[in-house]
Amino acid sequence: MGTVRDISNEAKLAPLKKAFGDLYDKMTLKAANLDNEESMLKAIEGATYVIHTASPFPMLMPKNAYELIDPAVSGTKAVLKACH
């Protein structure tokens, strides 16, 4: 199982389909967003294992480092809370 922000966004799913090839059809994707704790709780519910690798990745360097740090920390806390 994996998470994506929007399971209906074909443009965003295309790289996953390419990377996983034939295995993609065996994968379950759930909608979740690091900025939304409730979505993380729902996505992780019932999971046996969780590997958290998501982090903000802007195309342009933000003016303030906390624009990256804050969502990374809050997202990680949401994942840990869901795991707990």
Q: Is 31 helix (H, G, I), strand (E, B) or coil?
A: strand
pTM of the model: 0.74
Q: What confidence tens digit (pLDDT) does each residue in 32-84 have? A: 988 899 999 999 998 888 988 888 888 888 888 888 899 899 999 999 999 99
Q: Which residue has the higher pLDDT, 31 or 56?
A: 31
Q: What is the pLDDT of residue 67?
A: 87
Q: How many domains in the chain?
A: 1
Residue 24 belongs to domain spanning: 2-83
Q: CB–CB of 82/40 below 8 Å?
A: yes
Q: What is the pLDDT of residue 39?
A: 92
